[in-house]
Amino acid sequence: MLLSRVLPSNTTLLPTSSHARVAPLRYRHVPAGGGAITVPVRRRFAMTIRARDAAPVLDIEPQPLKLLDRRTKLKIAVIGFGNFGQFLARTFAAQGHEILAYSRTDYSDTARSLGVAFFDDQNDLCEQQPDVVLLSTSILSAEAVLRSLPIQRLRRSTLFVDVLSVKEFPRNLFLQLLPPDFDILCTHPMFGPDSGKHGWAGLPFAYDKVRIGDSDDRVERCRAFLEIFDREGCRMVEMSCAEHDETAAEIQFLTHTIGRVLAKLDLKSTPINTKGYETLLNLVQNTCSDSYELYNGLFIYNKNSTELIEKLNDALDTMKKELFERLHGIFRKQLFESSGRSSIDAGK
């Protein structure tokens, strides 16, 4: 008697994985009607019995690998696909993440060369339901771009990340404009296309988990995004947005200010350059290669920058005062010594 004749009518026979190992046949008695029949069985069935209206049978052994793959491979939407957005997207794509990009400028050819899907309409991009929305605009345009984004087309738990050079400003902007269900991660890669062109190993990456949901999938998604930079060897530094801005005013805004002040002097390379002078020339080149819009944003949107530039101005005034006082002292000494000698000579 066929096995199907003793099974319920709503039962489906499903083949197991083709990789399943087939065990030797054994036999057992199955009740049927008023008696019993003998059917062949194996220690591991070549078929799985499942009712049509039952829950799907899971392939238990590969499942953890599937979950791991789904969690670590993110769909990341890069909003602002300029020089820095492309720089990040290149590494994101190389690690196997799915990258979407939007920009007002048509970068479709560049995106194609990087394996990135380019969108010229924000609605179309948001309808792709990215796991992460990465804000990679200029500081000055960040608010306008975020306000124009059709966030109603995103999943309510979407993770928003920024990579701006200031941190309190985007933090407050996200908290103000994003619904409370959205996750927020403020980050700052302390490097760019020039300093990171040979790799990110050892370069600092600052971040603040401003608002991350408690569920395992949201915690895992945040971890997976941070792992992108960790895998590249970045020096991961978790700090508050306020602490970042206080520190960055000194190490970033000050550096850019000195470089741009030196650029005003129109310094030239000479045949007798010293190592120190070469450092100054490199500083001018590195800082001025970034847009003035970035420098202006560092000043306007970091409250610590105003105080720092006042301190810098005071320090310059102090140095000038010290120099002129010394110069005045030398002149006075030379003047009186010269006058004294003249009087002596006249007395002779």
CB burial of residue 158 (10 Å; 0-12, 13-18, 19+):
buried
Angle among Cα 131, 136, 142 to the nearest 5 degrees reads 110
Give the confidence band of 290 by pLDDT, cuts at 50, 70, 90: confident
Per-residue pLDDT tens digits for 90-117: 999 999 999 999 999 999 999 999 999 9
Summarize the confidence of residues 271-277 as an average pLDDT: 96
Distance (Å, whole) CA 340 – CA 348: 13
Q: Just give the CATH number of 69-239.
A: 3.40.50.720
Per-residue pLDDT tens digits for 4-45: 444 444 444 444 444 444 444 555 555 555 565 555 555 444
Under DSSP, the state recorded for 251 is I
Summarize the confidence of residues 290-301 as an average pLDDT: 90
Domain ranges of the chain: 69-239, 247-324
Contact 167, 192 (CB under 8 A): no
Please tell me which residue, 134 or 58, carries the higher pLDDT value.
134
CA torsion, ordered 190, 195, 200, 202, to nearest 10 deg: -70
Contact 168, 186 (CB under 8 A): no
> What are the DSSP calls for 179-207, one per residue?
-TTSEEEEEEES--TTTTTT--TT-EEEE
> What are the DSSP calls for 105-150, one per residue?
S--HHHHHHHT-EEES-HHHHHTT--SEEEE-S-TTTHHHHHHHS-
Q: What is the pLDDT of residue 3?
A: 45
pTM of the model: 0.71
Distance (Å, whole) CA 37 – CA 135: 68
Residue 148 pLDDT more than 60?
yes
Report the DSSP pairing between strands 98-102 and 75-79: parallel
Q: What is the pLDDT of residue 61?
A: 37
Per-residue pLDDT tens digits for 166-194: 999 999 999 999 999 999 999 999 999 98
Please tell me which residue, 217 or 66, carries the higher pLDDT value.
217
Lowest mean pLDDT among 60-64, 256-260, 335-339, 344-348: 60-64
Summarize the confidence of residues 53-80 as an average pLDDT: 58
Summarize the confidence of residues 307-312 as an average pLDDT: 92
